[in-house]
Amino acid sequence: MHLPKAELHLHIEGTLEPELAFALAARNGVDLPYADTEELRKAYLFEDLQTFLDLYYALMAVLRTEEDFAELADAYLARAATQGVRHAEIFFDPQAHTDRGVPIGTVIEGLGRALDRSEETHGISTQLIMCFLRDKSAESALETLEAAKPYVHRISAVGLDSAEVGHPPAKFREVYAAATALGLRKVAHAGEEGPPEYIREALDVLGVERIDHGLRCMEDPDLVDRLVSERIPLTLCPLSNVRLRAIDVLEQHPLRSMMDAGLLCTVNSDDPAYFGGYVGDTFHAVHEALGLDREQLRTLARNSFEAAFLDHDEERRAR
Ligand code: HPA
Ligand code: ZN
């Protein structure tokens, strides 16, 4: 039995399972450089964030139509429902699609089609978080926000992802200010591979309300104190940290010490098709590897609702 929970760190493109990738490739006449799903799965051995991102972006070539995006999101929601997810705040990467000629409206309307029927079909309420690719320019992020304006009613928040080191949050000061003016909420990946300073910058320069990952805050005790006292949620992704070699083995993940320090931790799947598990699997894995007991797992589940962008009534209904 999976605890009811919210998933707050989930890249919809990272839910593209090999079987669906091949089905969409066949439907859209896209050639994949792998013979079959087995050979593709063998490529899921990553050295770091960048080696993962190279494959993650390459496989997106199969996503072309509204129906493709709707199927992708629907498949995620169906799986998430079996793992206790009641609410999902879902990242998408519009630039990864517009750069290869897929209009932003195709992406958002396609995802929206699945999200619109999610409560009824899967019992999961949803929100969309539009991420800017931080290894692209600040101008490209501004253009993306501009292009998203006709669909802004479908978007709750903006985020920042892709290759972190060398692309500090401050590069995106202007687009975050513009997003705020549109009434959007704000999150950012920080402290996954990048230094603790990027976490401070995301808070102070971008004004984010949650930190995605935030793992490296543990190198900076003053920053930990601040995150604790301001009750800034961290959306941790332990299986991702192992697969992308931020840590060697799950047994060494600092989740337990982070909880003990009083940090508002949540546990999420990041890119579950690539990292070996959906969010319920992740709860199970940290239970096994770190010996978190039932009460600590309940705390993580409770934290996920506190950290979600839900108002009180929505939160009560989702729990
Ligand atoms: N980090 C940064 N960018 C990403 C990730 C991640 O874990 N997954 C998909 N895009
Ligand atoms: Zn992520």
- Return d(Cα 176, Cα 50) in angstroms, integer: 24
Per the domain annotation, does 240 fall within a domain?
Answer: yes
User: Which ligand 1 atom is the nearest neighbour of the CA of 271?
Assistant: 8
Ligand 2 centre from 116 Cα, in Å? 23
The reported pLDDT for the residue numbered 316 is 81
- For residue 1, is pLDDT > 70? no
Stretch (H or E) spanning 138: helix 138-148
Per the domain annotation, does 19 fall within a domain?
Answer: yes
Least confident of 219-233, 250-264, 278-292, 302-316: 302-316
- pLDDT tens for 121-137 read 999 999 999 999 999 99
Ligand 1 site residues, Cβ closer than 6 angstroms: 11, 14, 49, 56, 161-162, 189, 192, 240, 270-271
Task: Please give the average per-residue pLDDT across 73-85, as a whole number.
Answer: 98
Q: Average pLDDT, whole number, for the chain?
A: 97
The reported pLDDT for the residue numbered 319 is 83
Tell me the ipTM for this assembly.
0.96
Structural domain containing residue 296: 5-314
Nearest ligand, CA 193: 1
Known catalytic residue at 306: no
User: Which ligand 1 atom is the nearest neighbour of the CA of 164?
Assistant: 2
What's the pLDDT band for 221 if we cut at 50, 70, 90? very high
- For residue 264, is pLDDT > 90? yes
Ligand 1 centre from 103 Cα, in Å? 22
Stretch (H or E) spanning 165: none
Give me the phi and psi of 315, to 5 degrees please. -65, -45
Answer yes or no: is 11 a known binding residue: yes
Q: Using alpha carbons, select from 167, 268, 177, 252 the residue that is nearest to residue 218.
A: 252
Give me the phi and psi of 98, to 5 degrees please. -65, -35
- Return d(Cα 84, Cα 193) in angstroms, integer: 29
User: Which ligand 1 atom is the nearest neighbour of the CA of 240?
Assistant: 7
Token pair of 65, please?
């139509």
Answer yes or no: is 36 a known binding residue: no
Counting beta carbons within 10 angstroms of the beta carbon of residue 148, is it exposed (0 to 12), middle (13 to 18) or buried (19 or more)? buried
**82: alpha, beta or left? (left if phi > 0; alpha if psi -120 to 50):** alpha
Task: Please give the average per-residue pLDDT across 140-153, as a whole number.
Answer: 98
- Return d(Cα 316, Cα 309) in angstroms, integer: 13
| CATH number (domain holding residue 140) | 3.20.20.140
What's the pLDDT band for 256 if we cut at 50, 70, 90? very high
- For residue 294, is pLDDT > 60? yes
Give me the phi and psi of 196, to 5 degrees please. -55, -30
The reported pLDDT for the residue numbered 318 is 84
- pLDDT tens for 230-244 read 999 999 999 999 999
Task: Please give the average per-residue pLDDT across 152-169, as a whole number.
Answer: 98
- Return d(Cα 129, Cα 234) in angstroms, integer: 16
The reported pLDDT for the residue numbered 311 is 85
Per the domain annotation, does 185 fall within a domain?
Answer: yes
Q: Using alpha carbons, select from 98, 108, 89 the residue that is nearest to residue 60.
A: 98
Per the domain annotation, does 308 fall within a domain?
Answer: yes
Nearest ligand, CA 187: 2
Ligand 2 centre from 189 Cα, in Å? 7
Answer yes or no: is 189 a known binding residue: yes
Per the domain annotation, does 110 fall within a domain?
Answer: yes
- Return d(Cα 213, Cα 233) in angstroms, integer: 10
Domain count, the chain: 1
Please tell me which residue, 78 or 313, carries the higher pLDDT value: 78
- Return d(Cα 32, Cα 51) in angstroms, integer: 18
Token pair of 48, please?
């770091």
Per the domain annotation, does 319 fall within a domain?
Answer: no
The reported pLDDT for the residue numbered 276 is 96
Task: Please give the average per-residue pLDDT across 60-69, as a whole number.
Answer: 98
- Which of the listed residues 8, 46, 49 should we mutate to test ligand 1's pocket, taking the one with most ligand atoms within 8 A of CB? 49
What's the pLDDT band for 317 if we cut at 50, 70, 90? confident
The total of other beta-carbon atoms located within 10 Å of residue 276's CB is 16
The reported pLDDT for the residue numbered 79 is 98
Ligand 1 centre from 190 Cα, in Å? 10
Nearest ligand, CA 15: 1
- For residue 193, is pLDDT > 80? yes
Q: Number of C-alpha atoms within 13 angstroms, CB side, residue 74?
A: 14
List 7, 17, 71, 192, catalytic entry = 192
Q: What is the DSSP letter of 276?
A: T
Q: Which residue has the tokens 């975050």?
A: 176
